[in-house]
A and B are shown apart, each in its own frame.
Chain A
Amino acid sequence: MSRETFYITTAISYPNGSPHIGHAYELIATDAIARFNRHDGKDVFFLSGTDEHGIKMLQTARKEGITPRELADRNAKLFRDMGHALNASYDDFIRTTEERHHKASQAIWLKMVEAGDIYKASYNGWYSVRDEAYYQEEETEVRADGVRYGPQGSPVEWLEEESYFFRLSAYQDRLLKLYADNPGFVGPDERRNEVVSFVKSGLKDLSVSRTTFDWGIPVPGDEKHVMYVWVDALTNYLTAAGYPDENAERWRYWPADVHIIGKDIIRFHAVYWPAFLLSAGIELPKRVFGHGSRVQPR
């Protein structure tokens, strides 16, 4: 009687600029897979959206003399317009600034707290605003211009803050078992190999809150912290399925059948995301696929 469900997502786009060919490519490919499964008789839920928090949104907005909310509203519209122009058949377009998403992110946070995986400590290190990541001193270098750079080539600055941490180090074995038991969890194969060797090389606990800015989702019970943008961003896939209301009509779609993402964010989806879900006691998505990029010659 009830048809087989199929839940597919694009990554949510970071709208601090206009959509470009990379966004279009991912949306078109994901749309083709969603449509294929609909024509094949499945009950499909196809999700896309925008990832609107984080310091880069704040900085771009400041540069333009508008609020981050205004920037998000303006550019989210461009991404929706692109979806229309590309004949994308998504069933929902989520914006992480929506109320439903704040609820879901705070709910998964509390589950991770309950599991004993969130703790507070002080954090310092070389921080790259562009990467939104801290680096070890040995990963950075001072170049001829006298500026210190991180491994991705972006400038870093020394930052000390109080931060909540996620006990990622506790998940190394469970993640390796996941990849071994489900060889299809990460695709294509080259991506899986990269992910496995990254996890094998050892996982450090992950800083998952910020106090240096407030454009984000407040940490429940300690509102001077906002969640690290990736905790909030990844949770969008749950939000759209109704989380934390497991009686929601759309909850039947979870777990997602496949997250279609760019290969540059494979680590967040294939390492952090399953670790968060394992911690919160939520079923894991079946597959994460990291596509390549389309670049112009010359």
Chain B
Amino acid sequence: MSKSVGNVIDPFSLVDHYGLDQVRYFLLREVPFGQDGNYSHEAIVNRTNADLANDLGNLAQRSLSMINKNCEAKVPQPGDFTDADKAILNQAVAALETARKAVGTQAMHLALGAIFAVVAEANRYFAAQEPWALKKTDPARMETVLYVTAEVIRRIGILCLPFIPGSAAKLLDVLAVPADKRNFVNLLGGSELVPGADLPAPQPIFPRYVETDKEA
């Protein structure tokens, strides 16, 4: 595969090479739908590695691995929510309204922008709350932070379903979200993760694109 994707105009090879949801995400996120744009190998790799592999993939992998190790592979038991907890939970719901308006005018890049702003904020939340440190100092608070993170990932997963349906479904699978609870109405309350529910073993969902150097 040439680095310049000079020879990749065939959608089948593009999908084979980068992955289906990587291609879908890139095309929908990178350029406003009404405008012309170009695509290059570098742009596809940078965008999908940054947003999917790093931001969303790592957040899910780190938080779910912690839950798996420290919470007996069950949905953690949250205590009272702090303002920081409520803020990130609410942002995930507010993103729906932004996304709905954007998709209503065929501006998918803005919808994904709002959804991935939640992903970025959830990463900041996770880093700031330091659940790995709470493990020793305040295990109950650790469970709350992990619960909030997992619940935010559930909401992000549902919001991502239209855009990257295969990967978003896998994300919801590792949270054991039932098939009939994967609609936007399930963002609004009553469908939150149930503390104590069993979770399957976490598995990586967004592989990182690694350059293979190089077939001559």
Chain A contacts to B: CB under 8 angstroms:
18-21, 23-25, 28-29, 31-41, 81-82, 85-87, 89, 187-188, 190-191, 258, 260, 263, 289-298
Contacts and interface: CB of A to CB of B under 8 A. Distances in A.
B64 interface: no
A36 B106 CA distance: 11
A85 B20 contact: yes
A39 B157 CA distance: 12
B38 interface: yes
Interface stretch (B28-36, B45-53, B121-129): B28-36
A296 B11 contact: no
Interface of B: 4-6, 9-12, 14-15, 20, 23-24, 27-28, 31-40, 99-100, 103, 105-106, 108, 111, 158, 161-163, 165-166, 182-185
Given A21-B9, A28-B28, A87-B165, A296 B34 contact: no
A82 B23 CA distance: 13
A41 B185 contact: yes
A82 B29 CA distance: 21
Contacts of B6: 296, 298
A296 B158 CA distance: 32
A20 B27 contact: no
Contact of A32 (B24, B34, B39): B24
B106 A294 contact: no
B102 to A, nearest CB: 10
B10 A20 contact: yes
A295 B36 CA distance: 8
Nearest to A188: B34
20 contacts: A20-B11, A21-B10, A24-B11, A28-B28, A31-B162, A32-B24, A32-B108, A36-B111, A39-B182, A40-B184, A85-B15, A86-B11, A87-B166, A89-B165, A187-B105, A190-B34, A191-B34, A289-B106, A294-B27, A295-B38
Contacts of B27: 24-25, 28-29, 294
A89 to B, nearest CB: 8
A87 B20 contact: yes
Contact of A39 (B23, B34, B183): B183
Given A28-B27, A292-B36, A39 B161 contact: yes
A41 B108 contact: no
Contacts of A24: 11, 14, 23, 27
Given A41-B183, A296-B40, A36 B9 contact: no
Most chain B beta-carbon contacts within 10 A, residue among A36, A187, A260: A36
A298 B165 contact: no
A218 to B, nearest CB: 35
Contact of B37 (A39, A41, A294, A298): A294
Given A28-B24, A34-B162, 15 more contacts: A20-B11, A21-B10, A21-B39, A29-B28, A31-B162, A32-B108, A85-B11, A86-B20, A86-B24, A87-B165, A187-B34, A258-B106, A290-B34, A292-B35, A298-B6
Nearest to B5: A296
A18 B10 CA distance: 9
